[in-house]
Amino acid sequence: MDRTLAQKLWEMLDPVVAHQGYEIVEVEVHGSRNVIVRVFIDGPSGITIDKCAEFSRLFSDLLDVEDPIKARYTLEVSSPGLDRPLRKPAHFKKAVGQQVQLKYGPPGDKLTKLRGALVAADEASIEILDQMGSKHSVNIADVFAANVVYDVAAELRRA
């Protein structure tokens, strides 16, 4: 994934989204010839398919004018889904109590995979309780990728 272009697109599109009371949850850029750009958006009450289509048209117009992608690309705009990505401290705080999985490590080092219950989060770090009962403290700045793990079986047991 092209993190540099994803960050540039995030910064370009974020004011459009924020102006309407929504937030960008994640921007992904995959490929080099036929680029796929995925923008995940959420709002206080979620996001509808019609709103995603509206943002897609707005983003397409903006990307046509600014032209930050020098190859052919496909733009996809959607909700973050049940397995929503976690990027900002606020995302982690909102997910406390849920199962998460992440890849983390200092830049340039091999990434460590971790899965467990997110038991605490603040502006700088998170705490995960793994399935063996061990606690792991991770700096948010070291998180490469993280998302909520939606457990269908657990939800069915609760119903």
What's the total number of domains in the chain? 2
pTM: 0.79
User: Residue 66 belongs to what domain range?
Assistant: 3-78
Same-domain status, 96 and 150: yes
Same-domain status, 108 and 153: yes
pLDDT of residue 1: 60
Q: How far apart are CA 106 and CA 148, in angstroms?
A: 22
- CATH code for the domain of 146: 2.30.30.520
Same-domain status, 44 and 24: yes
| CA 16, chain centre distance (Å) | 18
In a domain, 83, yes or no: no
Same-domain status, 72 and 16: yes
Same-domain status, 13 and 53: yes
Q: How far apart are CA 92 and CA 148, in angstroms?
A: 9
pLDDT tens digits for the chain (159 residues)? 667 889 999 999 999 999 999 999 999 999 988 899 999 999 999 999 999 999 999 999 999 999 898 889 999 999 998 889 999 999 999 999 999 999 999 878 899 999 999 999 999 999 999 999 999 999 999 998 999 998 776 666 766
Same-domain status, 72 and 94: no
pLDDT of residue 151: 74
Q: How far apart are CA 73 and CA 152, in angstroms?
A: 34
